[in-house]
Amino acid sequence: MILQTRGLCKRFGGVHVARNIDFGIEAGEIHCLIGPNGAGKSSLFRLILGAHQPDSGTILFKDEDVTRLPPFARIRKGMSVKFQVPGIFKDLSVRQNLVISFQHHLHGHDLEATIRRVVAFAGLEGLEGKAAGTLSHGRQQWLEIGMAVGVEPSLLLLDEPTAGMSPEETRQTGEMLRVLNAQGVTILAVEHDMSFVQQIADRVTVLHFGEIFAQGSVQEIISHPGVADIYLGASDD
Amino acid sequence: MNGQGNSGPGVGQSLIDATPRQQRNTLALWLSRLEGPQTMGRGRGFWITLALAVLAAAIYPLFVDGWTVGNTAYFLVWTFMAMGLGVIWGYAGSLSFGQTAFFGLAGYGYGVLTLNFGAAYGFTILALLLAVGLAVLLAVVLGYFMFYGRVQGVFIGIVTLSVTLVFQAFMAQTAGPEWAIGAARLNGFNGMSGMPPLTIPWPGGDVLLYADIALYYVLLGLMLVVYLGLRMLLNAPFGNVLVAIRENPERAEMLGYDVRRYQLLAFVLGGALAGLSGVLYTAWGQYITPSSMGITAAALPVIWVAFGGRKDVTATLIGTLAMIFLYQWLTIYGSQYAIVVMGVILVLTVLFAPEGIVLSLMRRLSARLTSAGGRP
């Protein structure tokens, strides 16, 4: 297990966004976190990152207790994140975005080589000098994925990586994640596009009212009778 | 011999040779950072213009009398505080409205030290360093509680302004004889005076830097060193992180940067530069009063930097010099409305060039030069 949570609880006022969550991600897998709106996906995501502190419970990353560490310290231990709304530096050039993302670990020729590699990987050739905010939405998302993976994280956290993308961009993003995964990056993605989940996921965890509702392979989850119910139930609200 | 004739890389290369080469590389790296994405101005044209400007400033004392040169030195005194505010506000994105707290603390610190210990054996230089150290200490303590206490945005301005106003109010009530530190009377609203100017020990007689030509050259040199040093620092990874924090602090943290630490470092750097200005001001005029920490004094640097362009150190510097010159000119020629004019300029800047008037002119010029250079 690269990441494990034990008895994780978090409430905001009277709302339990995480209720006793025992959850784990195996090294090397692509794990999707799904659930209807308000199920606690983003909260669990933020708890793992350290953007929220849990009321109780522990988070282990590579067998080390990181529960009390601030986000930047978790990132330095090998986590990496891509947000739902593109978290890029819009007024800075594509190149500057990448330099800032990698300068922590890389210098000189290594830095340049990584920038070239990531630019090619994210399909941003010829756009290095452009302000990142002027890129198309899909390219901004890819730039952020590039920023998140350039330093070879051991765990990549993605919050709705395909939000706002065209079907073609979504498919390309799926391929991109597959390539990364083949290179050894473990991925946790919060997602609610089920066809995308089917395209990429090795395992799926379903959250409902801040609790783990079901867990298993994509096929197991799709054929799970309760999962369809909670989604339909949610859409009935 | 660098061992180039050997077969394998590094084989036979002496370790003694390796060190200077490493140092040369480090020096070359830092020099290369004189230009970069976080500062405007690059290429031969820019450096020639800068060299000509420095040359003009250097020969300027040949054409005017010493008194005027001394007054011009006064303009240079303020540029350090302005450039420091530019780093905190323009680069790191936290508006400090109380740089004058560091200015005043260091100014008074210099006064207390030199009034007690005199100017012999170059002590004024040590006093300068100690007084700037005081400003740094205040910046570390204040900055720690602000940034590690997650104080953000406009509240940084409110906290820092409060601090400088408290300092002013405190110093203004120190008129009684009981308010003295050793031989130095604080003197309440009238302020402290009679401290020695900066004195450089020299064989055959110390050089006293009164508000005159020698002080002008020292300040000019110091300004150039700080300006170029800041250019290198801002184009280094440190400057990149500051800009990242300004643009999107959450993303910066999620790239593994301890945002609070960088904000604190920028704040301390700005505090040190404001302190330097405070010492130089005190040494220049041999007096300092509580009004140097009052609300008008606190607002002026914000206006200079806003007018110049906070996001670029060159624009900040040019804008500051222009605004101080204008302010001085207005005050000398009897206008009681100098401060009102400053306010109007601030409003016009915010309305028409929110990034700064000098900066937007520089951007236009740079765009024009680029397009002219690109033509066949």
Residue B31, pLDDT above cutoff 80: yes
Q: Is B364 contained in some domain?
A: no
- Total structural domains within chain B: 1
**B254 part of contact set with chain A, CB < 8 Å:** yes
Report the predicted TM-score, pTM, of the whole model to 2 decimal places.
0.91
Q: Are the beta carbons of B256 and A90 separated by less than 8 Å? A: no
Mean pLDDT of chain B: 91
Q: Is B14 contained in some domain?
A: no
**A93 part of contact set with chain B, CB < 8 Å:** yes
B282 within 8 A of B107, measured Cβ to Cβ:
yes
**Three-class SS of residue B331?**
helix
- Residues of B within 8 A of A70 (CB-CB) are 253, 258
pLDDT tens for residues B190-213?
999 999 999 988 888 888 888 889
pLDDT band per the 50, 70, 90 thresholds, residue B15? very low
**B253 part of contact set with chain A, CB < 8 Å:** yes
Arithmetic mean of pLDDT, B248-266: 95
End-to-end distance of chain A based on CA atoms, in angstroms?
Answer: 37
Arithmetic mean of pLDDT, A38-65: 93
- Reported ipTM: 0.90
Residue A108: the pLDDT is: 87
**A164 part of contact set with chain B, CB < 8 Å:** no
- Residues of B within 8 A of A92 (CB-CB) are 37, 243-244, 247
Q: Is B250 contained in some domain?
A: yes
Q: Is B261 contained in some domain?
A: yes
- Domain boundaries, position B72: 66-291
B286 class by beta-carbon count within 10 Å (0-12 exposed, 13-18 middle, 19+ buried): middle
Query: Cα torsion at B36, B41, B42, B47 (round to 10°)?
Result: -130
Q: Is B234 contained in some domain?
A: yes
Q: CA separation (Å) from B214 to A78, A115, A121, B110, B284?
A: 55, 49, 59, 20, 11
Residue A49: closest C-alpha in chain B: B254
Chain A interface test: which of B240, B254, B260, B311 (most A C-beta within 10 Å)? B254
Query: What's the CA gap between A182 and B352, in Å, rounded?
Result: 52
Q: Are the beta carbons of B243 and A89 separated by less than 8 Å? A: yes
Q: Are the beta carbons of B257 and A147 separated by less than 8 Å? A: no
Chain B interface test: which of A85, A89, A98 (most B C-beta within 10 Å)? A89
Q: Is B233 contained in some domain?
A: yes
Q: Residues B56, B231, B347, CA angle at the centre, nearest 5°?
A: 80
pLDDT band per the 50, 70, 90 thresholds, residue B21? low
Residue type, A181: N
Query: What's the CA gap between B232 and B226, in Å, rounded?
Result: 10
Structural tokens at position B140: 């570390």
pLDDT tens for residues B55-100?
999 999 999 999 999 999 999 999 999 999 999 999 999 999 999 9
In this structure, what DSSP letter does residue B212 have? T
Q: Is B296 contained in some domain?
A: no
B267 within 8 A of B88, measured Cβ to Cβ:
yes
Residue B6, pLDDT above cutoff 70: no
Q: Are the beta carbons of A100 and B240 separated by less than 8 Å? A: yes
Query: What's the CA gap between A205 and A213, in Å, rounded?
Result: 8
Q: Are the beta carbons of B37 and A96 separated by less than 8 Å? A: yes
Hey, which of A100-104, A179-183, B78-82 has the most confident mean pLDDT? Answer: B78-82
Residue B257: closest C-alpha in chain A: A72
B322 within 8 A of B356, measured Cβ to Cβ:
no
The partner residue sitting opposite A89, judged by closest CB among B237, B251, B253, is B251
B345 within 8 A of B307, measured Cβ to Cβ:
yes
Residue B338, pLDDT above cutoff 60: yes
**Three-class SS of residue A156?**
strand
Q: Distance, in angstroms, between B252 CA and closest chain A CA?
A: 8
Residue type, B300: L
Q: Is B210 contained in some domain?
A: yes
The position carrying tokens 């395909």 is A162
